[in-house]
A and B are shown apart, each in its own frame.
Chain A
Amino acid sequence: MKELVEFIVKSLVDNPDEVRVYATEDRSETTLELSVAADDMGRVIGKNGRVINSIRTLVQVSAAKEGKRVNLEVLEADRD
């Protein structure tokens, strides 16, 4: 799941090197936290969250195959 999110997000942003996905798992649920360059936030979230919601939908498909639930959150970007 982590690889899927990384693969999608890196193909959508201008700064693929700054894409990080942190995964924490417990028995039934995986939480994925995504961080991207501040400039890429808009691209990853999309208008009305359309992009991130579509990514969530796709990750759910592969999570369901493992009998798990998945949460995908976008971490607030640090603006220095």
Chain B
Amino acid sequence: MSFRIIKALVAKDLSLFFRNRFYALITVLGIVTYIAIYLVMPSSVDERLEIGLYAPVVPPVFEQISEEGVEIEPVESKEALVEAVIEGQYAAGVELPADIMEKFASGQKPQVTLYFTADAPEEVKDAVEFLIRELAYLQTGQMLAIDVSAEILGRDMLGEQIPTRDRMRPLFALALIMFETMGLASLISQEIEQGTAQALLVTPTNVKDLFAAKGLMGVGLAFAQAVFFMAIVGGMSSQPLIILTTLLLGAILVTGAGFLIASLSKDMMSVMAWGAVVIIVFAIPAFGIMVPGTISGWVKAIPSYYLADIVHQAANFGAGWGDVWPNLLILMGFNVAIVGGGIMALRRKFQ
């Protein structure tokens, strides 16, 4: 390999990357947008639970409720309650029957109806059911006939809730890194499609020089953007060395993915198509971090899980080397496989 040649090729690739208005614009817009979204999102967690209540007769215990973080607001009709829940005004709606007090008095079990939207988290459903059961018990001294089975999925965040925007940091960092997959794949694909790779390979440039130059540019661009973003949004304040290492491994991972996409693609459109598939799959683990409980064990088969998880654990919970080393090792393993596979697949196209 020749340093002189690699330097010339990297300079050329960087120049071409930023001359492509689409990629240049998306790169800058991506960084600015993600930082802006992060900064405008609330920096603290709103833990209040607002519940709408429709009750022709309100039991005294419901009027005296003083649970911390729970606000119960009366609503005039069942229809108004349903509408308010659908519009997101309340996390849940509770409808008590008109004969609730008589049923309590006669020892019968009144029918209580709860309303949730389809996307209400299980935790909220569980909490509201639990609350109603507790209030009924306080009122009558006996249990309501509600069969509740509760299960906690994902990390139990009791006492250590973090703002959504901090949860989103791995997603944004991953998105910035991932975008380079398409940029790099597009550059390589163009190089093959337009025959410029062939022109380079009849000069003293060899295939190793080409891979080294493309790899350096891909890793450099992805890493620089992710580090810049994390630095601006305070993601480096905890365990910076772990985060830098992880982002570097992530940049190498997406460079390998870029090689694979380029080997499968024939033009810009196929780069976009394959790139979109890879980006969506790679983004799933980061969404899982943003919304706990939405993904299960299979997500660990996606290489980006280890990237997103390490960034999340280190930036948001201060996880140290002792906590993250198994995931770092797995990420390195994926890197070797994906970069190696990408080089092998692409080498055939260069020749």
Verify that A and B bind, or say they do not: no
Please report A residues at the B interface, Cβ cutoff 8 Å.
none
B residues in contact (CB < 8 Å) with A:
none
